[in-house]
């Protein structure tokens, strides 16, 4: 499927509500465990998505659109949420993500991007040249990857409880 | 995490709303592609979950609770939705799943299962003896596995569109 801005926006604008239905009000016993060292709990995933709204997608899009002399992105801190989510409840994080995402989708819509703008590029610190189109496709796929990751870390809490069915549920053993 | 009925119900009762937020109103371009031969599109996943509500979880629980002479479950048809979803819209399937799940969770709650009942067992046609507790844990983990699977098949539509970011998004290449 080729990237189309309106298709991408369909996903971007619904992720906060998807996560709210999946997570709001769930017991901490579901939302606080992770999948091992340096992995994310459901709670951590939401904090990670918030950090992306603040520092990654729209800020990087602005660097590309400005086409200034330095188009290199700031490196992304995958563990920033360990600091930033501290002391917050999951309900607060879900609200914060919904608010930031709504603002960012409004900014994206307001730009009324042309094909020529979508072809502009910036410099990823590790991956090299990337286009605005690729950045926006990645924002979208990244959302879906974290929905999958959250469902997986929740499912893993029942890895032993399912008994012999574990053989039929690959999600329980996926890294 | 040990199986606890009220914890499992937290997940079971929210899956229909999660899928509605994730899928309702999405373009067919997102919801109709699958991951290759004999795999499920997002649309197929919802039909599969509906088939489970009708023929798998509660019917198997009834076999266990009855403790009759034949406690062997009917084999499950993983591709039943190819017939049963034909001619239906995704919106209709999401409604049907929500209605069936709501009825089934009400049945489950109405049973007020004791620990002794949760320890009763039936006979899986391939896996052998399984307890009611394991069946209910599997129902729960199966939901989460399909939420993950749906998010994955959606994400894969942007496998090429993300360009070099594909290296950072394992969800795009996971079978």
**Per-residue confidence band for B77, with pLDDT thresholds at 50, 70 and 90:** confident
Binary contact (B164, A127; C-beta < 8 A)? yes
Which residues does chain A have within 8 Å of residue B7's beta carbon, measured at their own beta carbons?
27, 29-30
Which residues does chain B have within 8 Å of residue A138's beta carbon, measured at their own beta carbons?
158, 162-163, 165, 169
What mean pLDDT value characterizes chain A? 96
The answer to whether the CB of B120 falls within 8 A of the CB of B15 is no
| Mean pLDDT along residues B138-165 | 98
In a structure prediction context, what are the per-residue pLDDT tens digits for chain A, which is 175 residues long?
Answer: 999 999 999 999 999 999 999 999 999 999 999 999 999 999 999 999 999 999 999 999 999 999 999 999 998 888 888 889 899 999 999 999 999 999 999 999 999 999 999 999 999 999 999 999 999 999 999 999 999 999 999 999 999 999 999 999 999 999 8
For an interface test with A, which of B148, B152, B153, B168 has the most A Cβ atoms less than 10 Å from its Cβ? B148
Which residues does chain A have within 8 Å of residue B33's beta carbon, measured at their own beta carbons?
1
Q: Is the pTM of this model over 0.95?
A: yes
Binary contact (A134, B20; C-beta < 8 A)? no
Q: Centre a 10 Å sphere on the Cβ of residue B72 and count the other Cβ atoms it contains.
A: 10
A85 to chain B, minimum CA–CA distance in Å?
23
Residue B129 β-bridge partners? B123
pLDDT of residue A149: 98
Which residues does chain B have within 8 Å of residue A157's beta carbon, measured at their own beta carbons?
1
pLDDT of residue A79: 86
A152 to chain B, minimum CA–CA distance in Å?
6
Which residues does chain A have within 8 Å of residue B21's beta carbon, measured at their own beta carbons?
14, 17-18, 20-21
pLDDT of residue B149: 98
pLDDT of residue A81: 85
CA distance B1 to A36: 14
A94 to chain B, minimum CA–CA distance in Å?
14
Q: For the segment B78-135, what is each residue's pLDDT rounded down to a tens digit?
A: 888 888 989 999 999 999 999 999 999 999 999 999 999 999 999 999 999 999 999 9
pLDDT of residue A82: 85
pLDDT of residue B82: 85
Indicate if the pLDDT at residue B11 is higher than 90: yes
Binary contact (B10, A20; C-beta < 8 A)? no
Which residues does chain A have within 8 Å of residue B32's beta carbon, measured at their own beta carbons?
none
The answer to whether the CB of A150 falls within 8 A of the CB of A44 is no
**Chain A, window 49-78: residues with a beta carbon less than 8 angstroms from a chain B beta carbon:** none
The region of weakest confidence among A83-87, B17-21, B56-60, B113-117 is A83-87
Binary contact (A157, B14; C-beta < 8 A)? no
Phi, psi of A122 (to 5 degrees): -125, -175
Phi, psi of B129 (to 5 degrees): -65, 135
**E-strand stretches of chain A:** 121-124, 128-131
Chain A contact present for B130, CB below 8 A? yes
pLDDT of residue A77: 84
Binary contact (B144, A163; C-beta < 8 A)? no
pLDDT of residue B76: 84
Whole-angstrom CA distances from A77 to A49, A84, A101, A163 are 11, 11, 19, 38
Q: Which of B2, B158, B167 sits opposite A161 (nearest CB)?
A: B2
CA distance B69 to B60: 14
């Amino acid at each position: 499927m080729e990237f189309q801005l309106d298709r991408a926006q369909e996903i971007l604008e619904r992720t906060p509500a998807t996560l709210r239905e999946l997570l709001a009000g769930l017991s901490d016993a579901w939302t606080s465990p992770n999948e091992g060292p340096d992995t994310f709990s459901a709670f951590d995933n939401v904090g990670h998505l918030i950090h992306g709204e603040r520092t990654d997608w729209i800020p990087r899009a602005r660097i590309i659109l400005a086409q200034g002399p330095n188009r290199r992105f700031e490196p992304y801190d995958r563990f920033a949420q360990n600091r930033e989510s501290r002391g917050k409840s999951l309900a607060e994080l879900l609200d914060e993500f919904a608010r930031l995402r709504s603002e960012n989708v409004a900014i994206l819509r307001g730009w009324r991007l042309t094909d020529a703008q979508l072809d502009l590029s910036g410099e990823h610190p590790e991956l090299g040249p990337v286009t605005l189109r690729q950045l926006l496709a990645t924002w979208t796929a990244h959302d879906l990857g974290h929905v999958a990751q959250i469902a997986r870390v929740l499912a893993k809490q029942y890895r032993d409880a399912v008994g012999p069915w574990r053989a039929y549920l690959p999600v329980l053993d996926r890294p």
